[in-house]
Structure 1
């Protein structure tokens, strides 16, 4: 699930909700048990092998044969997440100080419920369908490969990469376009542009900018600062945008060219798709599966960003709750929604228990019952489980799945946290366990992206395709098998990497 940067406010209803949702949709009746191992800000979700294998096989078959079922789920996913985002936007602008404890608890509970509803509705197609060895994606790739005539001259992985890339806009692209528009607005005033290239302390001297410039920058920051928040933050401070503007203006980059690229990127992908499809006949089933793949990739990104914004806003509510309960924000974020409501109503709240949960806990769902285990009970639970743990073998075949084709060599930089991004130089190869939005500045510099986690619908794959960066995902233990400074070759056509030096 995630190796860090998460807390119980996004986990407390899992894995029970995943299993219950599977049952509600009529798929996965044999999926009965699961647990989440949470420790030190990281969480991993486990299901019994026989149960998850049977469920995924049934799910893939359902997606292939029941188009109406998929459409209904995806339509609901769009609607629920749009509602969630709009509700969070309203809460962001509330004066929380003037709310009663009852009102504050009700807002927190509603956001938590909407988070669960919007995230669970499409968890089957946007996560579980590819959770067991990328069953769905590999099936689609195999069907596409068989449909490609040799005389077309089309390379299968390149073809799949293009045809599976969404052509609808997303939060990342919208923010990029807004930022370029902001830069063009500021650059129209020579004095403002000179402010950013004079080597000054931008944050300390911010008030020296014109009122118009200050308001424009603040408006952009207010609208988009949540983008890197993921589950626990932080959001971007104003200084982030000031530094981005400094780098942009200092590089003497053509803003018109940047704007043209941002505006045409999706159109270019759509044109490539049309060109490819003009070269051969695509069977209806394969066309449908590629349509669904694009939809899954887009929805996965959309629902994640809606959740990130929801977490950003929910933490505002939890921060005020923490103040009233004399707890830390981190402690409040390890309460369930019901526990927080009870605490705000004057009920008991054990700070020591919350600290134990932060260190180690297990969220277990067995026989229709969900519970949270901490301390020794959690340790005993884990000790009794037999969990598959692939070993990191120095001579292992460093092979994964191609997410965006290409072939490059470069210097490895292992980056798993935002604070590690300073070591990333243009043209380096970014290697990570997984990626998330706050790593985007480093990802844009990468000559290639390599991850341990994820399949062709993961965050790294989505970003790589949008920016046409060669990418290989799913190389087990790769962050333990290469080191910063290694020179490696990335073959994102065959899907492997090789150490050069």
Structure 2
């Protein structure tokens, strides 16, 4: 923030540097996608894995600044807004004002995908035979009878958005069948497609109009406006960053899958190691006992010491001792407090989602509770009446998507996944940043 104040062009310079590194990421991903991984030797696979890892590492080494800006800029902006509005940050009116100012200027990649899918649906809905096919036939019959032109549109859509359900650990890319199934479900729900597209496209115009109107009404000064612009820019940068990070991890895992076969090491075991730990010599003489310990449970402890970072992995007895200390210092509160990411209130049954498999248990009206959300959480987020997370700031994934879905959302509670369990009845008062356990 000091550099930003001293040099207004600093943020643009960082973005330019980031763009160059991200371009290397996409070129490396293209190389992986164009390679026949099964035919590569051990040495070739390892070199490609390292190349993908280095591209990924270098890109996030610059873009990690988004977390710092988000966590520093948010309280700074709130302090300035308190002075301008003469309201306390816990006041309902203050939170409403803050929420309007923090709305995104443009759609996230998840919203873009939804809008583009709706446009394909428009073409289908305009053809009576196609519409009847999707509304009346089975998924198998739809796939068999699908016209070449629609098949081509769906395939192109998949190529553009294959990463939408990925996460930072694993995940399968979306297929044509996934999208045919989604289109079938939406067409059967009889939604007004053109109206939905218009609503989605005009949403961001309305966001900008409301924000600009509020800036004028409150007579927000230039310095505060610059800070607000920075936060919004970081919000969108964080979304772009998530896209190339997810794609990087996915393609690293494609290579790792082949490495697993070539070196006869279980894939899930390899995933318990950081890429920089996996040297060629370590793979050649892999310690499977250590791998088995990590697969049971492990925790990574990182601590800055002068200009270096101390890195330790705890397994077995050390893991248990570490967690005992952690839980000893954990204090359960009756009310859970966090930050309002999206306004509203909801009453619902808690569903704690720690893994992708947990998402299937979320029913319509449930309160989704997670450490943080990722793109594959979106279908469950759409069903949920509210979203609560342990982590995150105003530019995090949960905050962005909750505002787009118009769902009440409380972020940064720190303890929600520990304090709540499946079946708990809670009231989410997002405007106040409170989650209250009813029973």
The TM-score range, normalised by the shorter chain, is 0.7 to 0.9
Q: 2:166 aligns with which of 229, 239, 250?
A: 229
TM-score scaled by length of structure 1: 0.76
Bigger RCO (CA 8 Å, 6+ sep): 1
Change (3 A) 1:349 1:412: closer
What are structure 2's unaligned runs of at least 5 residues? Answer: none
Corresponding residue of 1:174: 112
Corresponding residue of 2:56: 115
Separation in 2, partners of 1:388, 1:126? 30
- Please state which structure has a larger fraction of its residues in helix: 2
- In the alignment, does 2:67 pair up with 1:127? yes
Corresponding residue of 1:270: 208
Q: Which runs of 4+ in 1 moved over 6 A?
A: none
Q: 1:145 aligns with which of 59, 71, 82?
A: 82
Separation in 1, partners of 2:428, 2:300? 38
- In the alignment, does 2:197 pair up with 1:256? no
Separation in 2, partners of 1:492, 1:120? 33
Per-residue CA deviation, residues 320-350 of structure 1 (Å, 9 max, x unaligned), is 2222222232233345546655259x84333
Deviation at 1:493, TM superposition (A): 1.9
After superposition, the CA RMSD in angstroms is: 3.2
Separation in 2, partners of 1:440, 1:387? 31
Larger mean Cα displacement after TM superposition, 438-447 or 111-120: 438-447
Corresponding residue of 2:45: 104
Deviation at 1:483, TM superposition (A): 4.6
Corresponding residue of 1:56: none
Could you tell me whether the CA contact under 8 Å between 1:109 and 1:341 is conserved in 2?
no
Change (3 A) 1:365 1:482: closer
Per-residue CA deviation, residues 372-407 of structure 1 (Å, 9 max, x unaligned), is 546458549848x965865352x5232211112223
Could you tell me whether the CA contact under 8 Å between 1:140 and 1:290 is conserved in 2?
yes
- In the alignment, does 2:290 pair up with 1:353? yes
Larger mean Cα displacement after TM superposition, 458-467 or 230-239: 230-239
Q: 1:330 aligns with which of 268, 289, 292?
A: 268
Deviation at 1:112, TM superposition (A): 0.4
Per-residue CA deviation, residues 341-363 of structure 1 (Å, 9 max, x unaligned), is 5259x843333333333332546
TM-score scaled by length of structure 2: 0.86
Larger mean Cα displacement after TM superposition, 364-373 or 476-485: 364-373
Could you tell me whether the CA contact under 8 Å between 2:340 and 2:431 is conserved in 1?
yes
Aligned residues: 432
Separation in 1, partners of 2:425, 2:327? 31
Separation in 1, partners of 2:109, 2:216? 31
Corresponding residue of 1:466: 404
Larger mean Cα displacement after TM superposition, 212-221 or 449-458: 212-221
Corresponding residue of 2:144: 207
- In the alignment, does 2:330 pair up with 1:391? yes
Larger mean Cα displacement after TM superposition, 279-288 or 111-120: 279-288
Change (3 A) 1:141 1:198: same
Per-residue CA deviation, residues 90-139 of structure 1 (Å, 9 max, x unaligned), is 4223222343443332221111011111112132x322455xxx454122
Change (3 A) 1:248 1:456: same
Could you tell me whether the CA contact under 8 Å between 1:227 and 1:309 is conserved in 2?
no
What are structure 1's unaligned runs of at least 5 residues? Answer: 1-59
Separation in 1, partners of 2:379, 2:33? 26
Corresponding residue of 1:76: 17
Separation in 2, partners of 1:479, 1:365? 24
Change (3 A) 1:82 1:492: farther
Separation in 2, partners of 1:316, 1:379? 30
Deviation at 1:298, TM superposition (A): 1.6
Separation in 1, partners of 2:420, 2:290? 39
Deviation at 1:65, TM superposition (A): 4.8
